[in-house]
């Protein structure tokens, strides 16, 4: 793959790791604030997890755009 594609993949991977760290920080902070079930705490955790999931789908699309043309020819 080209240097530009390597750069895009590297940024994609690093940003994914950063997203996961932010997700973990949000979930840990919510757990620290309350031990009891609270609807807003659930929303905060679910939205943080959903952000990571959306990013993961975007990363798959980026990888597909880079690698599928290489496999096809």
**Catalytic option among 20, 27, 45, 59:** 20
57 CB contacts (<8 Å, ≥6 apart)?
none
For residue 50, what are its two tokens? Answer: 């959903």
Rounded Cα–Cα distance for residues 39 and 17 (Å): 27
**Catalytic residue status for 27:** no
Write out the catalytic residue numbers. 20
């Amino acid at each position: 793959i080209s240097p530009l594609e390597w750069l895009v993949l590297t940024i994609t991977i690093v940003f994914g790791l950063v997203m996961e760290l932010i997700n973990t920080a949000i979930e840990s902070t919510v757990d620290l604030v309350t031990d009891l079930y609270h609807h807003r705490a659930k929303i905060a955790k679910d939205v943080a997890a959903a952000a990571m999931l959306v990013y993961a789908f975007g990363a798959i699309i980026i990888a597909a755009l880079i690698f599928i043309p290489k496999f096809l020819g």
